[in-house]
Structure 1
Amino acid sequence: MAWSRMSQDRPHGSRCTQNKARSAKVSSTSLPRMPQTNKSRNAPASDSPGSVQVGATGEDPESVSREVSLAAGDAGGSGGGGGVEDNVGDSEIIKSPSDPKQYRYIVLENGLRALLISDYSGPAASEDEEEDGEDEGEEEEGEEEEEEEEEEDDEESGDETEDEDDEERGSDDDGDDREGKKKKGNAEKQSAAALCVGVGSFSDPSDLPGLAHFLEHMVFMGSEKYPSENGFDAFLKKHGGSDNASTDCERTIFQFDVQRKSFKEALDRWAQFFICPLMIRDAIDREVEAVDSEYQLAKPSDSHRKEMLFGSLAKPGHPMGKFCWGNAQTLKQEPKKKKINVYKRLRAFWKKHYSAHYMTLAVQSKERLDTLEEWVREIFSKVPNNGLPKPDFSDMLDPFETPAFNKLYRVVPVRKVHALNITWALPPQEKYYRVKPLHYISWLIGHEGTGSILSVLRRKCWALALFGGNSETGFDQNTTYSIFSISITLTDEGFQNFYQVTHLVFQYLKMLQTLGPQQRIYEEIQKIEANEFHYQEQIDPIEYVEDICENMQLFPKEDFLTGDQLMFEFSPEVISAALSLLTPEKANLMLLSPEHEGQCPLKEKWFGTQYSMEDIQQEWMQRWIGHLELNNDLHLPAENRFIATDFTLKPSDCPDAEFPVRIADSDRGCLWYKKDNKFKIPKAYIRFHLISPVIQQSAKNVVLFDLLVNILGHNLAEPAYEAEVAQLEYKLVAGEHGLVIKVKGFNHKLSLLFHLIIDHLADFSASPDVFSMFSEQLKKTYFNILIKPEKLGKDVRLLILEHSRWSMVEKYQALTAGLTSNELMEFSRSFRAELYAEGLVQGNFCSTESVQFLQYVTDKLQFSKLPAEVPVMFRVVELPLKHHICKVKSLNKGDANSEVTVYYQSGPKALREHTLMELLVMHMEEPCFDFLRTKETLGYHVYPTCRNTSGVLGFSVTVETQATKFNTELVELKIEEFLASFGEKLNALTEEAFNTQVTALVKLKECEDTHLGEEVDRNWAEVVTQQYVFDRLNREIEALKQMSRAELVSWFQEHRGQNSRKLSVHVVGFGAEENDEEGGDKKQDEEGKDEGLSCSTYGEVSKLTFLPASPKIEGAVAVMDIPAFTEGLPLFPYHKILE
């Protein structure tokens, strides 16, 4: 798989661990990211960019140059709607022909550069007048969003993609409601703004590591004009908004979104970060703890650990070696010892670096350009310009030209993974953005088709995945260098043969260097990117402005929208220059494996990574730099048969419908269908759920199903890879009750990909070698899931609540007990023997074509009907009317991170109660953040969540903390203290504040879909749970409009009183506060050597260690044996939230 900003979204947005799914795989990945303030908990996460075609012509975009001229010529006139003629944009800014927005670039007198983005021509522009009259209700608390993401694969999967399984099977476990996704699709989009400051962690002073990141936190804490510490977040929550920020090496980005009627006031409040932030002393002391907690949460991440270790190899004094995160030691304890006044230094840093002349701003709203310009000039002209030159590091080239770089580093990872990273440090490549040489090279290196590196390695059973390229984060690409990295996830056998694996990589590079850059291949990539740009689908405004404000720092005005997407010109000289630098004598080898434990005497200073350094074996180096023979198994990819050439919009062959309609129904399956007549794009989505009764029969069967889905993905990887690079995406999901198949992309060749997947399922096979390889890998995957406190906490909670669920520990036990390939083949036959196939097709297909997909599934798989209906959810236990607490020790030995979740069960309720619970949690979010994080500094991640567990409702509050600072029982008491204070606030809630929050939630639910995928996700959630309430949002909106303040207050009191059904789950980390002697960390001597190497850092995960509760938690009953506790509890009936 190639890494690049073009082909893979960068991690950003609502969480510092936000994950972007890798297209067309069984797994998902994300790239390493610099520190990020965790502000917005439901900032939208987009699908991969799609397209909006206004009046499609069905043409095949011939070349990028044609794309560019077409787009530029179209800049003034796309889109309809009243008053559009006087809203003409800047024709010099090249945009997609499918983009209805208008753009204007302005430079303020203080030097701040702004791009104004007008959505005015969109469908809801005429609705604005009625909203402007609405009461904005300046009362009470809003929110600081922290939505429980429980998305399975976080940044720690990094390059190695370990957590694939968890994400896929967890999707419907515990439907944590994400209001950001629940949109009716017929009102207006959110308004959004993002500002990029051209300074980052490279500018940290040497005596205050992490200051830039700390400043990014501190500017949120009130301003002279709006002094309330959480005032901005409270304001956003009242008006349905969210915010976030992130610090990179040379840039810092802030972004927010909000409902349009409040956009101007939100802009003014937000602009104060850059005009007059308070940064009071008291807040400084407390916010250091949030930064420290963020660092502690990042410590177990292998991707962050590798990044810090790699940075430490830079020349002394080069900013690549800086500790960009910051923690309590660097920002509090050391400064105190050295008598450094952090308050003064922080203000001085802000004054020096937060200057208007290196800020870029992007604002998007459904306003005329003139209105946006008036607002931006009025508000942002007050940002000071100090006239100082922007920090410039471009003279600090070749940071890794050191003897320590061209070595082999053996590293002990946190997770169980074998991975080989081959890395080169190249001169900065950003200036070649029109050619994108690294994208061309990574496209070939990361190819997975016949003749590729990964194809050969897979045949040898040496590797599972390969990623190549440059992620375009600030760490990977800045003004001092650009990285080119190849990361290979190895099998046990591949680890033993890692030198041969490296040899194969150098053979492939030698082939590329010998053949030289190929125009045919460049033009194929160019055509794929051009198609995607031409039929570009809109993305959520908050994501869009974040990308654009950063692009404004990198590209000239005409390329603000295209610079990171298009391949403009083929330059063999530029590509050859980059290729020629990828030589063995300039490479750094980093080999990660648990096998290295006990052999690595060195320790990285900040993250504690154990490693060793050695020379690359001379015999191998001589082979590589001598006359390296080419490998006949390696060759360039053939012409791609999956590239779309027909972009015609199909006519409808049935009446238009607002919601999906069942167009085929039999005892073996059914199909739901909706033709897209809104977004008008030549794309489609095909989704199927193949429901089977055999999966949940035993833990062994669940494991065999996981193996089946993983090996099916492996079997598909090579034949389906061409489809993937042609912007067709597939995903295989091992669901709890069936196999989910998701396919999307340009509809022209989409059926080819779908048929390929079904064919491979019908003819499923697994050789003993492949079976053995994936069994070993799945053990590592389960281990890597169980060592994460948040995953373990979820597993324990759902094991208690959901009857007949198999826990991750039970699956790990079943796998380690031993399975055979014959058992897998027998399971695959029984799985396919009896199924119910339920599908949804949406987009640019007519109904007659869509029915054929269901027909193909039933004809090809030849399954019988189910003997009895298979429920697609679990039955849930009814918790007793008493507080129960389940404390388990973290399975990540030595990790300080703990998690506490306090859950209140409501029961199987109706849609009205579900909506009431959403409203309650929306009220709760900002006060929860303010109390538990800002004031009590318990942890970085704190959030309340709506819980829909197999149809049974509840709500919870979660805090992720560290055992080096807090005992989990103390955290539990603080959560209770918060809930008591929240109850008092709720009692004092005014009607005005209540109505404001109701309006905000209604507006969120009415928010216009930005692309077809959002509508599909919403409809698919109804299909996969077999609820079919496609108008759920309409019903929720009606319910909200009828709710009263008294109803909300009494609902909360009812669930908090004597009759509450309360369950607390604690995952207890290692540290002094939990009476662990070593506090979770082994000692390190002065030389950075690690003592105690004989002691394993890998804990045992095949069983849970239950801990008793102390008398501090009054009246709580400890759960020390889950089956014994749940055995006698009554079960709620199967329940769907329908009416």
Structure 2
Amino acid sequence: VLLGSLARPGHPMRKFFLGNAETLKHEPKKSNIDFYTRLKDFWQNYYSAPYMNLVVQSKGNTRYKFCIFFLSNFWFDFSNIHLLNIIWALSPQERNYRVKPLRYISWLVGHEGKDSILSFLRKKYLWAVALSGGNAETGFEQNSTYSIFKISVTLTSEGYEHFYEVASVVFQYMKMLQKVGPDKRIWKEIQKINDNEFSFQDQVGPINYVENICENMHLFCKQDFLTGNQLLFDYKPEVIAEALDLFCPQRANLCLLSTNNEGKCPLKERWLEMQYSVEDIEQYWAAVWAFDFELNPDLRHPEENEYLATDFSLKAPDFPEVDYPVKVLNTPQGCMWYRKDNKFRKPEAYVHFHLISPEVQRSAESIVLLDIFVSILPLNLSEPACGADIAKLEYKLVAGEHGLIIRVKGFSHKLPLLLQLIIDHLSDFSFTPAVFEMIKEELKKTYFNMLIKSEVLANCLLLLSNCHWCHSHFMLYLYQYFFHSLQKETLFLLCLSVRQPLFVSIKEKNVKEEEILELQFTPLAHPCPVQFRVVDLPNTHLLCKVKTFNKGDANSEVTVYYQMHMEEPCFSFLRTKETLGYHVYPAYRNNSGIIGFSISVTTQATKHNSEFVDKKIEEFLLYFEEKMKLLTEDAFHAQVIRKKQSSKPPQALCS
């Protein structure tokens, strides 16, 4: 909205596209315009067959008339971050959809591997933590008027102070791309990745699918209706070079978003009343970028991607067909479960590791150390694992309640390479003082944001655990940590216990049983007893009340936990009928194998106290008990069938 408002007067992109009371009610009234008559005229003039396309997907007869209307919801969110957006308004690129020059450029700009923009900003100055770039290829960012290309850099606090230098690095990279010119090997690599993703994509919902084709019919040739928005077809270096030449500093718009700008923005956007300022580029940088500035020798094209899968053959099954994972290995050092997928038949694999350590729950300090460890490890992996991410191999590292969780998934051909990379960085873990301080500051913000939210505070109390700590304990330990006093040995103490743990994994899909049994476990240097225990609640009513840390938050969170099994939508009773609050939800709980159930209500403290809400939850349970007594066998089985139909498919194991 703000970018559009800066267009010259009369430009179609300057219009307000969302609509609010001012544009739909007050302004028409001032101009004596009957809004409803205008709307009806617009509908009669433009909602007709010559302007429309129709796509129908159905298992039945498609010779019926369908008309589906969509209403989108819009919202605005502003987080406490430093964000530099570098934006170019380019000539329309819709006609070049078979070459997709902007996708080629965005792929290079967003590359996070060796010799990339982000790698340079991270390693040399710690000025940035994330970078993305590209064009949405639709709507406001790409149309018959122009194409927008935006590079977004998430800055550190130091990067915010040097945002001109960050922008200069981006411009140096764009100039390098112009000098070197288009690279056919890279274009073919992007084409192959898109082909793989298209060939093995999950089934799209019918509404989204037909909506997408309808839009494609307005934009692409007939033979490209199904694939025009996803695939690359023709390599034309002259088209890519022409687009690259448009990326000069003089055509760029720099937009710096930060809460640090508060009080420095005298202007106000008309429709959403966003505060902003418009300033000229500093004279020094304008002079530097006006001439043939030097290239940065640390910025180059990415190397060939070794993670790009080429073998998509399905391996012959060597294991009986089962519905659930089966334990195929059980030793004192670890256990392993395996399941071969025979339904979806895709050349993919999902691997989960749970590295369990008794050290994690021994103190709040250990939990903080694990959080630091899991925050630094992805940074260490970001550059070497970039190729895997581009090739659609995914990994996730989670600081679990009892240890480190590693999840990897993707095409089975090259997935072992990614797994080996993670293990190598796990065993050879290291970090610098600068990285440690950056992660420490980020964790402070994370813990603080969790503390001030009543619903998060309620969930982190962990009353069922004998060893439990809150984020306030984590904050205290975090403020005591300094790199020179912590040193790497303290963190390695935790890492060592994670490297030699009780080992649990699940593997499924396009992998043989004999392949997973090749993984060997070495004996532990010392016994590693890990016991999962939960407090046995007495048969009485227990109440725990905690004051919120945010005095400005008028919300209260009430969670009632039952060490029993129950599942029933209580939305209508507690929200619609009793109007206790907007957020009302039941939740199924599994605490170390102990089944439980909770009901949570977020209510305004100025309206209801927590005891009143607790009483209403008890009333709901009595109401539900009477309802259960009237439940027939047929109704029960109908609920079971609906639950099965709504359950996720087996690939949900990867989540």
**TM above 0.5:** yes
Change (3 A) 1:530 1:763: same
Match of 2:597 among 943, 954, 958: 954
Change (3 A) 1:865 1:926: farther
Which amino acid in structure 1 is aligned with residue 86 of structure 2? I
Change (3 A) 1:931 1:813: same
Within 2, Cα distance between the matches of 1:812 and 1:473?
44
Residue 433 of structure 1 deviates from its aligned partner by: 2.1
Alignment of 1:139-178 (within 5 A): none
Q: Which residue matches 1:847?
A: 513
Within 2, Cα distance between the matches of 1:661 and 1:648?
24
Alignment of 1:285-684 (within 5 A): 308-316=1-9, 318=11, 320-321=13-14, 364=57, 367=59, 371-374=60-63, 376-377=64-65, 379-380=66-67, 415-460=79-124, 461-472=126-137, 474-539=139-204, 544=209, 547-548=212-213, 550-552=215-217, 554-604=219-269, 609-684=274-349
Which amino acid in structure 2 is aligned with residue 373 of structure 1? T
Within 2, Cα distance between the matches of 1:605 and 1:654?
65
Three-state SS of the structure 1 residue aligned to 2:159 is helix
Q: Which residue matches 1:908?
A: 563
Q: Which residue matches 2:359?
A: 694
The yes-or-no answer on 1:969 pairing with 2:608 is yes
Residue 445 of structure 1 deviates from its aligned partner by: 0.6
Q: Which residue matches 2:479?
A: 816
Residue 878 of structure 1 deviates from its aligned partner by: 6.9
Within 2, Cα distance between the matches of 1:318 and 1:987?
64
The yes-or-no answer on 1:881 pairing with 2:538 is no
Change (3 A) 1:763 1:842: same
Change (3 A) 1:876 1:309: farther
Q: Which residue matches 1:769?
A: 434
Which amino acid in structure 2 is aligned with residue 1013 of structure 1? Q
> Contact 1:899–1:968 at 8 Å: present in 2 too?
no
Within 1, Cα distance between the matches of 2:615 and 2:31?
39
Within 2, Cα distance between the matches of 1:319 and 1:1013?
46
Within 1, Cα distance between the matches of 2:14 and 2:536?
51
Change (3 A) 1:501 1:541: same
Match of 1:1003 among 642, 648, 652: 642
Q: Which residue matches 2:493?
A: 829
Three-state SS of the structure 2 residue aligned to 1:442 is helix
Residue 483 of structure 1 deviates from its aligned partner by: 1.9
> Contact 1:927–1:982 at 8 Å: present in 2 too?
no
Residue 447 of structure 1 deviates from its aligned partner by: 0.8
Which amino acid in structure 2 is aligned with residue 758 of structure 1? I
Q: Which residue matches 1:869?
A: 530
Residue 864 of structure 1 deviates from its aligned partner by: 4.0
> Contact 2:558–2:600 at 8 Å: present in 1 too?
yes
Within 1, Cα distance between the matches of 2:320 and 2:256?
59
Within 2, Cα distance between the matches of 1:703 and 1:432?
51
Alignment of 1:190-209 (within 5 A): none
Q: Which residue matches 1:752?
A: 417
Render the CA deviation track for 1:596-629: whole Å, top value 9, x for unaligned.
3444444445555444332111211221220111
Q: Which residue matches 1:1103?
A: none
Residue 699 of structure 1 deviates from its aligned partner by: 2.8
> Contact 2:266–2:276 at 8 Å: present in 1 too?
yes
Q: Which residue matches 1:285?
A: none
Alignment of 1:160-239 (within 5 A): none
Three-state SS of the structure 2 residue aligned to 1:673 is strand
Q: Extract unaligned runs of 5+ from structure 1.
A: 1-307, 385-412, 1018-1139
| Structure 1, 325-334 or 818-827: larger mean CA deviation | 325-334
Three-state SS of the structure 1 residue aligned to 2:420 is helix
Which amino acid in structure 1 is aligned with residue 308 of structure 2? I
Within 2, Cα distance between the matches of 1:567 and 1:520?
13
Change (3 A) 1:607 1:647: same
| Structure 1, 830-839 or 718-727: larger mean CA deviation | 830-839
Residue 956 of structure 1 deviates from its aligned partner by: 2.9
Within 2, Cα distance between the matches of 1:482 and 1:569?
20
Three-state SS of the structure 2 residue aligned to 1:888 is coil
Three-state SS of the structure 2 residue aligned to 1:488 is strand
> Contact 1:929–1:943 at 8 Å: present in 2 too?
yes
Q: Which residue matches 2:72?
A: none
Render the CA deviation track for 1:316-375: whole Å, top value 9, x for unaligned.
45564555555677778888999988787777777777666656565555x3xxx2314x
**RMSD of aligned alpha carbons:** 4.1
Q: Which residue matches 2:406?
A: 741
Match of 1:945 among 566, 579, 586: 586
Within 1, Cα distance between the matches of 2:35 and 2:477?
54
Q: Which residue matches 2:73?
A: none
> Contact 2:353–2:406 at 8 Å: present in 1 too?
yes
Q: Which residue matches 2:443?
A: 778
Change (3 A) 1:781 1:549: farther
> Contact 1:731–1:742 at 8 Å: present in 2 too?
yes
> Contact 2:351–2:408 at 8 Å: present in 1 too?
yes
Which amino acid in structure 2 is aligned with residue 312 of structure 1? S
Which amino acid in structure 2 is aligned with residue 969 of structure 1? H
Within 1, Cα distance between the matches of 2:398 and 2:216?
35
Within 2, Cα distance between the matches of 1:997 and 1:357?
51
Render the CA deviation track for 1:229-268: whole Å, top value 9, x for unaligned.
xxxxxxxxxxxxxxxxxxxxxxxxxxxxxxxxxxxxxxxx
Within 2, Cα distance between the matches of 1:604 and 1:802?
50
Within 2, Cα distance between the matches of 1:671 and 1:746?
21
Change (3 A) 1:982 1:615: farther
Change (3 A) 1:876 1:764: farther
Within 1, Cα distance between the matches of 2:610 and 2:175?
57
Which amino acid in structure 2 is aligned with residue 640 of structure 1? N
> Contact 1:668–1:866 at 8 Å: present in 2 too?
no
Q: Which residue matches 1:793?
A: 455
Alignment of 1:956-1105 (within 5 A): 956=599, 958=601, 967-969=606-608, 999=638, 1001-1006=640-645, 1013-1017=651-655
Three-state SS of the structure 1 residue aligned to 2:167 is helix
Which amino acid in structure 2 is aligned with residue 869 of structure 1? V
Which amino acid in structure 1 is aligned with residue 419 of structure 2? F
Within 1, Cα distance between the matches of 2:537 and 2:294?
65
Change (3 A) 1:988 1:727: closer
Residue 668 of structure 1 deviates from its aligned partner by: 1.7
> Contact 2:559–2:600 at 8 Å: present in 1 too?
yes
TM-score (norm 1): 0.51
Identity of aligned residues (%): 44
Render the CA deviation track for 1:955-997: whole Å, top value 9, x for unaligned.
436568xx8xx95539998999899799889979998999568
Within 2, Cα distance between the matches of 1:656 and 1:823?
50
TM-score (norm 2): 0.84
Which amino acid in structure 1 is aligned with residue 587 of structure 2? C
Residue 444 of structure 1 deviates from its aligned partner by: 0.5
Which amino acid in structure 2 is aligned with residue 819 of structure 1? F
Q: Extract unaligned runs of 5+ from structure 2.
A: 70-76
> Contact 1:692–1:870 at 8 Å: present in 2 too?
no
Within 1, Cα distance between the matches of 2:468 and 2:51?
55
Three-state SS of the structure 2 residue aligned to 1:779 is helix
Q: Which residue matches 1:806?
A: 469
Within 2, Cα distance between the matches of 1:484 and 1:800?
46
